[in-house]
A and B are shown apart, each in its own frame.
Chain A
Amino acid sequence: MAGQLRRAAVLLLLASIGACAGPEPEPQVVHVGSTTSLYDSGLLDTLVVLFEARNPDLQVRVLAVGTGQALEVGRRGDADIVLVHAPDAERKFVAAGHGRYRVTFMQNDFVLAGPAGDPAGLGTVEGEDPAPEALGRIAAQDAPFLSRGDDSGTHKREQQIWAAAGVEPAGAWYGETGQGMGSTLVMASERQAYTLTDRATLTVLGSAVDLEPLVAGGPSLQNVYSVMIATAGANQAGAVRFWRWLLEDQAKQVISGYGVDRYGAPLFFPLEYDIPTVDPEESGAATALNPFQRAWVLLFSGDAYLWDVIWRSLAISGSALLLAVVIGLPIGIGLGLSRLRFKLPVVALVNTGLAFPPVVVGLLVFLLLSRRGPLGPLELLYTPSAVILAQVILAGPYIIAVTLAALEGVPADVRMQARGLGASRFQAMMLHLRESRASLVAAVAAGFGAVISEVGAVMIVGGNLLGETRVMTSAIVLETRRGNFGVAVALGIVLLVIALIVNLLLTLLHVRRVRAPAAA
């Protein structure tokens, strides 16, 4: 377990160093920073495949992130071309000199989606621009609402509508997933919450989610997509070629026909525009912040978000470990002390539990807790309890196994020897445990290191909800995607420190054990 932690730490370090160094100039690759909705709907892939077929000397790599992150990636020069849908942010981006040749080239619309029963009664809202009033109703009734909260175009639009409704969204009913549109829709479906989505992603997910489009139309829900070239991009020539191809007739036809065969109606609609004349001049590269400097500043300035995630991680993994110990220790002791026939198969079962891939545990817990699962009525999915449950399942067999090993690490007749000095059976058992305490402490520490550095199960059952289930590992995944390397590195440093402390403890205890020879 400690080994896994060390490996993860090294990878993390390499990853952040790689991020600092910036992309190598690879003229044959065009990097596209794209909003997730374009990617999740499958349209971007279709366009890229067609483009690459006609331009074999170019290869397109898509970074599917939220609009805010896509712009950030473009600003740093990690993308050569940006595809987004937040007009205000785009204008600022261009005004600041980070982007050029912005063309608003297609549109579809946003819809307010929610459970079919529509408990907040959004379906009855009418008028030219129904969205602000609908969100107002949600807030007034404290109806559950999930926001992407990831600085994406959809999130930016949602914030604009809240502002228009005169509502500052906060409270138990309002959650932030920090994830893409598809994941957020799955979570909203599980929680039977409302959410703002682009129509394309909702249509593509179809029956996989239990949500209905309830409010549509009006200027607030209009969704226009723009493409622009990032000034700091390394491959300006390639970017211009992809940009031009996107705006020409062939791409237009693909866009207007996309989804008709499968969904019965197009998902996107091309707009009318003039293609600007491209001035083949050199571009100025923007300087990237050093993520390590930023990480230290965040850590020592007591950044609220960062420390919330850190304490939440410690609390969740600490609780999980405590529970695993409370459950696993007695089982381990029971197994260690028993000479019963069923001991061997149970030990084999426990060892199998050790080999559970965390992602599979996450999936099982998800199925168990999802609304249609056997424990669905408890409504535990995407709560800290769900994460704790998954981590207990991961850590439990581990605690049992190490307790067993710790007890077997002392001479077999140690309890008899205690009895030989007058100990009762119970006292002898306590003395036996006391003799194994160094190994037990080491084991529990290693268990903590293992659960706190786990990411697969946490993402699946926790959903990475801000202020609820966003822990260090899932936050690192999110912040790296967002381009907030400073936060990611800061969290990585905290995880490394935890790994260091755990290993130091293990080393100390190990050294003591080696130094102590068995009494002859």
Chain B
Amino acid sequence: MPPQPPDFPSGTSILEGRDLVVEVKETRVLAVDRVDVIGGEILAVLGPNGAGKSTLLRVLAKLQKPDRGSVSVHGTSGREADALLRQRSAFVFQRPHLWAGSVRENIELGLKLRGTPSVEMAQHVERAAAQLGIDTLLDRDARSLSGGEAQRVAIARAMALNPEILFLDEPASNLDALARGALIEDLDRLARDGRHATVIATHDRADAFSLADRVIVMRDGRIVQSGQPEDLFENPVDPFIAAVTGAELSFRATVVSADEGLLRIRVGNSSLTAVGAAAAGDQVRVVYRPEDLFLSRARIEASPRNRFPARVTEIRQAGSLERVRLEGDGHHWVAVITRAAADELALELESEIWVQVKATALHAFHV
């Protein structure tokens, strides 16, 4: 059967997992009461390594049998659901295996398994390759590709199938920052065509929040909280969620102007430059990593777009690092610097210092 566009409207639940339990040597690696995948949505599964994200994805995709519980697809279960999922889903693994042969043969594989006629198959291959920007690689030996190229081939291979549900397991985890950014951008564009549901597992909150309609946060095999990104920021159920989502390291802002992903935002009294997809007038949430803040005694001219004075309100030691809370223009920031750097700067409470942060370190999400 050739790939088909989904014949169920968006907004209805197409995949339902109930009471899922997976045990490895008596340890529960997954214990999830309920998880639904809604047609057309992008669902991010966020959590630290070992939280059970991959296991949940594999179980939902019926690639792994849970020790207990059930997964139903469009209301069917058992063999029927299994066959339906094989026909209508595609799974991109964290370490995708590219089969011996050319890139084209790799992208054709899933189509061949579905018995797609060759003319149609060529069209699907060309389309998917173009979407992922790998048209020029089609005749290369698949085993000769770089990590980023291989990951794109693996995604193109899945996209060529026009899946109703696309599973992505840490699709950007072993890429360098540049390739990662480009890939996430492409995924954002592809996932938002609204035609298929995407389930993406990631440990990177920026990835999760920039892509997802809905986020599930996992820890120790359990779902700790789920909801829309803004809910998680606004109402974290516990400090873990706050840490995972980076609620403490985020703030709301208003977009003043937007130019090709580069946003001018206003927060408190100051104006900053951030990256993200939003339009002028939009309310956004901005997240950052505390290690991306640069501190200096004097104002210096450097490449970071954002530069402002601040006052030290708290210093806490964390091993060889120091966690510094700052207040600038009526807004709170957190920076993490090394002990040596703190000594050099002679940091103490009430110190006046300059903060610099690159625009690309401030990720803004529409709320």
Footprint of B on A, CB under 8 Å? 410-411, 413-414, 416-424, 427, 431, 434-435, 438, 516-517, 519-520
Indicate whether A519 sits within 8 Å of B113 (C-beta atoms), given known contacts A420-B167, A424-B86.
no
Is B91's beta carbon under 8 Å from chain A?
yes
Q: Find out whether the CB atom of B157 lies under 8 angstroms from the CB atom of A520.
A: no
Judged by DSSP, the binding face of B is: mixed
Name the interface size band of chain B.
Answer: 35 or more
Q: Are A423 and B143 in contact (CB under 8 A)?
A: no
Nearest 10 pairs of A and B residues by beta carbon: A420-B91, A520-B147, A516-B143, A421-B110, A519-B98, A519-B150, A422-B113, A417-B97, A422-B86, A416-B63
CB-CB < 8 A to B157: which residues of A? 421
Q: Complex formed: what's the CA distance from A424 to B82 in Å?
A: 10
Whether B201 sits at the interface, judged by CB under 8 Å, is no
- Min C-beta distance of B152 to chain A, whole Å: 11
Q: A422-B90, A520-B174 are in contact. Are A413 and B158 (CB under 8 A)?
A: no
Cα distance A423–B157 when bound, in Å? 13
Instruction: Among B64, B142, B158, point to the contact of A421 (Cβ < 8 A).
Output: B158
Shortest C-beta distance, A468 to chain B (Å), equals 43
Q: Is B359's CB within 8 Å of the partner chain A?
A: no
In the complex, chain A residues whose CB is within 8 Å of the CB of B151? 520
User: What number of residue pairs across chains A and B have CB atoms under 8 A from each other?
Assistant: 75
Q: Which residue of B lies closest to A427 (CB)?
A: B113
A438 to B100, CA, bound (A): 10
How far is it, in angstroms, between the C-alpha of A418 and the C-alpha of B97 when the chains are bound?
Answer: 9
A411 touches B90 (CB 8 A): no
Listed A/B pairs (27) with beta-carbon separation below 8 Å: A414-B97, A417-B91, A417-B96, A417-B97, A418-B109, A419-B91, A420-B61, A420-B63, A420-B89, A420-B93, A421-B91, A421-B161, A422-B86, A422-B90, A422-B113, A431-B109, A434-B99, A435-B100, A516-B100, A516-B141, A517-B143, A519-B96, A519-B97, A519-B143, A519-B145, A520-B151, A520-B174
Give A410's nearest chain B residue, CB to CB.
B97
A421 touches B90 (CB 8 A): yes
Name the residue of chain A whose CB is nearest to the CB of B161. A422
Asked if A423 and B86 sit within 8 Å, CB to CB, the answer is yes
Closest to A437 in B: B100
Rounded to whole angstroms, the CA-CA distance of A418 and B113 in the bound complex is: 9
Q: Which residue of A lies closest to B154 (CB)?
A: A519
Chain B residues, Cβ within 8 Å of A413: 93, 97
Residues of B within 8 A of A (CB): 58, 61, 63-64, 86-87, 89-93, 95-100, 109-110, 113-114, 141-147, 150-151, 157-158, 161, 167, 174
* Residues in B neighbouring A519, C-beta threshold 8 A: 95-98, 142-143, 145, 150
Q: Which residues of A contact B114 (CB under 8 A)?
A: 422
* Contact, CB under 8 Å: B150 / A416: no
CA A290 to CA B334, docked complex, whole Å? 91
Q: Name the A residues within 8 Å of B95 (CB-CB).
A: 411, 519-520
On chain A, the residues within 8 Å of B99 by CB distance are 431, 434-435
Min CB distance, A13 to chain B, in Å?
A: 38
Q: In the docked arrangement, what's the CA distance between A153 and B100, Å?
A: 63
Q: Shortest CB–CB separation between residue B92 and chain A, in angstroms?
A: 8
User: A417 contacts which of B87, B93, B113 (Cβ < 8 Å)?
Assistant: B93
Kindly list chain A residues whose C-beta atoms are within 8 Å of the C-beta of B98.
Answer: 519
Q: Which residues of B contact A417 (CB under 8 A)?
A: 91, 93, 96-97
Are the CB atoms of A421 and B100 closer together than 8 Å? no
In the complex, A296 Cα to B144 Cα: how many Å?
45
Query: What B residues does A420 contact at CB under 8 A?
Result: 61, 63, 89-93, 167
A sample of 7 more A-B contacts (CB under 8 A), given A419-B63, A420-B89, A520-B150, is A411-B97, A418-B109, A419-B86, A420-B61, A420-B90, A421-B110, A422-B87
